[in-house]
Structure 1
Amino acid sequence: MTTLFSHRGVVLESGDAGLEVSGDLGTSVAAALAEAGEQWFERGEAASLTLDFSGVERASSAAISVLLQWLRICRRRGIVVNEVRLSAPLRRLTSLAELDALFDPPAA
C-alpha cells in the first residue's frame, strides 16, 4: 500500500485493488482527502478498482460526499468500480438515507 494522504488520523492508501480510506473522516479533512483521490485518478493508474471505506470509524455525510465524488470521476473516466466497501456505521447511514442501492453490486 502507498499512502496518498494522511491528516488528523484520516489515511488514504492506494494498492493493487484500489483506494482505501480509514479514520474518523469529518468535514475538516474531506476536501483535502477528495483532492488527494482526484490526483490519483488523474494519474490514470487503474482501469478498475475497489473503493474501500470499511476503515471509516463513524457515519459521516462527509465520507459519503467524498465517495460520491470519486464515483462520478470513475464514471467520467470509464473506470469500472468492482466493489464499494463501507464500514458498519457508513452502511447504516446509506441505508437510512436510502442510498445503499448506489453502493451495492448489481443483482445477478
Structure 2
Amino acid sequence: MTLLLSQSQVSLKVEQGTLYVAGDAGMATAAELAAVGSKWLKATELNAVALDFSGVQKASSAVVSVLFEWLRTCQACEITVSGVMLSAPLERLAALSEVEALIHSPTLAR
C-alpha cells in the first residue's frame, strides 16, 4: 500500500491497482484529492485500475466531481477502469443526481 494523500478528513492510497479514498472529502479537500489522484494515474504504467470510494461515508458532490475527473484522466491516458465502488451515501447521491449510469457504465472498461 502506498499512501498518496493524508489529511485530517481524507486519505488516498493505492494498492494493487486500486485507488482507495476514505474519510469525508468535501469542497476544501476535493481539488487536492483530484490533483493527487490524477497525477498518479498519469504516471502509472498500469493498463487497468479500480476506483474505490467505499470509505467515503458522507455524500458530497465534490467527491463525485473527483470521481469524474479521474474517469476523464483514465480515458485520456487509455487506462481501463475495471470497477468503481461507491459507499451507500455516494450511491444514493449518484442515483438522485441521475449520474449512476455514467459511473457504472459498461463502456468504462475499454
Return the TM-score normalized by structure 1: 0.93
Give the equivalent residue in structure 2 for 1:106.
Answer: 106
Distance of 2:89 and 2:34 partners within structure 1: 20
- Which SS does the other structure have where 2:25 is aligned? coil
Aligned to 1:15: 15
Letter in 1 for 2:52: D
Q: Tell me how far apart the structure 1 counterparts of residues 38 and 45 of structure 2 sit (CA, whole Å).
A: 12
Structure 1 vs Structure 2 CA RMSD: 1.3
> Are the counterparts in 1 of residues 42 and 73 from structure 2 also a CA contact under 8 Å?
no
Alignment-derived partner of residue 52 in structure 1: 52
Q: Following superposition of structure 1 onto structure 2, how do residues 1-108 of structure 1 map, counting pairs within 5 Å?
A: 1-106=1-106
Unaligned runs of 5+ in 1: none
Is the 2:42–2:77 contact (alpha carbons within 8 Å) kept by the matching residues of 1? no
Alignment partners' CA distance in 2, 1:58 and 1:45 = 32
Number of equivalences? 107
Q: Deviations over 1:45-100 (max 9, x none)?
A: 32101000000011000000000000000001100001000000000000001101
Return 98-107 or 29-38, whichever deviates more.
Answer: 98-107
1:45 aligned counterpart, secondary structure? coil
What SS class does the counterpart of residue 14 from structure 1 fall into?
A: strand
For the 8 Å contact 1:38–1:70, the answer to whether it is kept is yes
**Contact 2:3–2:12 at 8 Å: present in 1 too?**
yes
Structure 2 unaligned blocks of 5 or more: none
Identity %: 47
Q: Distance in 2 between matches of 1:90 and 1:67?
A: 11
Q: Once the 2 structures are TM-superposed, how far is the Cα of residue 18 of structure 1 from its aligned partner? A: 1.6
SS in 2 for 1:90: helix
Letter aligned with residue 96 of structure 1:
L
